[in-house]
Structure 1
């Protein structure tokens, strides 16, 4: 009997201990659930309070949820279901931006959203759902209203352009005016060398007008760059093809290439990028006075394919490196200052960029970054 009683008491103690462990586990579970609920509420409040639109997209691109700012962008009321956004005209623009951003992850795209009473300039970014290297279905679209910033930047840019245009037009006007005054004086005095004065004056006028026309045409090209059309292709093949005419035309300019076979195909507009490469080749050849070496290499770095173009010319002075890609900045006596600005703009449209290779000291070195 004593053994039975002892066994019973032991069983009771075990049951009580199990009960205490279950109760403790339940308390810990409740605490964890409360903590998770508080964290979820905090994140919801945080997301709702952000001054940028956040749209959660499912694996198939469907709208799962959106915050208050995104609803304002899309003109959705708080009671409207998220799926209603796809019926709105503004979603068509966003949908196209999403398709473009999927090709270029972690890039940002400036888009124009048109509403009933106004247009807004929006910066859109698509972020894949990943954590610790693991990818999850869906993505997050972040949209930020940069209308005021864009307007301010545009005003500042056009003020600079207007000042530069006024300066560039004023320069040839002076010799034109002087030539006209000289011809008028010769006519009034019935001078013997009148014909010579007319010939010299009209030659000067024609030359200066052609200079102005060249500047205006270049400005027109800059202001009306065509929209890029991205297609998958070999950037290595394009660079080699772009170099060939210069290799044939300039016997004292040598080209060397370091291009691995495993450079991946990327998305780019062939006509526009060819224009970029040829512009840089021409700059190098001119800087080297048509005699020297151009070294071209292509490699991968982070999320980019990088094209390095180096020459053996005089190099790029340190003081102009931060200004050389701005519109109308030029060190050439007859330069329009738009060549490198067009290059920079084309690369920006591709989600890329151009930089001076500060580590290269044997001449000028430029690095072209294109997303892969």
Structure 2
């Protein structure tokens, strides 16, 4: 709970700023932070008494992006105007416009929450981009796939002819070529998934049972990475209406992303539960988390931080989930990342 008592922080023009539709804070040159209204505390996701100076390190870990940004504003000696930043607050992404004003005692920051306007604009941009990518993909995917099939077929014939002729080196070359062709084939499949509308099979399926069927594959992949796995599947989970093959693709993609994000001895948690009329799937890792400045990009086509990634996995997941009438969200704050898939429960489903 935030107190409203005045304790003599840096002087300001008004006795109380809770009426202001913007968050106001003060940073002095020694690293003391003073919060002047509830909205500022909410935007920064911290709990502190109003107008009582507190060390910035007590509010944020020095590794948090919020600390780095505030420290930069304090030490850069420059004022910022209309700088758009992103806070990750309680799993929700906030788009905040910041202005800073230097005074003798340090710097004042005025923060304006842009609400859903930025999210709507980003959604429209992402939708337009996916539409363009889809048209391009649909035009070239089939043209690539046909010669790939021919090349792979002849490579298999050559491997069969070399078999048993003590030409191990040549056989290894052919196996490598087949492996590279398969990589291109996999990319073509992703492009086709992204380009065409998914006509989901209109039948009931149980997400918990689907995860159980995929459990051996998930455990095998986790064992290769030396990562622990925890499955939490609640009882009384209603069915959803959808395509089991496509939903399996989403689960495996999210699991693979989580495993790629972790080092040895990490933990993967896969949970399926019910939330009112929604079935929720959470895939959580204990990796380093996603920086706040990348949170709005993770579902963009071709955006990836992986050295060999295509940047198509998450956009495809988002499209599949949307085609099922659901939503997919990501939350990451300082440590670990959780992807949540929310699907509408079937009206006539039973647990």
**TM-score tier (shorter):** 0.3 to 0.5
Relative to the length of structure 1, the TM-score reads 0.43
Flag the structure with higher helix content: 1
Relative to the length of structure 2, the TM-score reads 0.45
Structure number, greater radius of gyration: 1
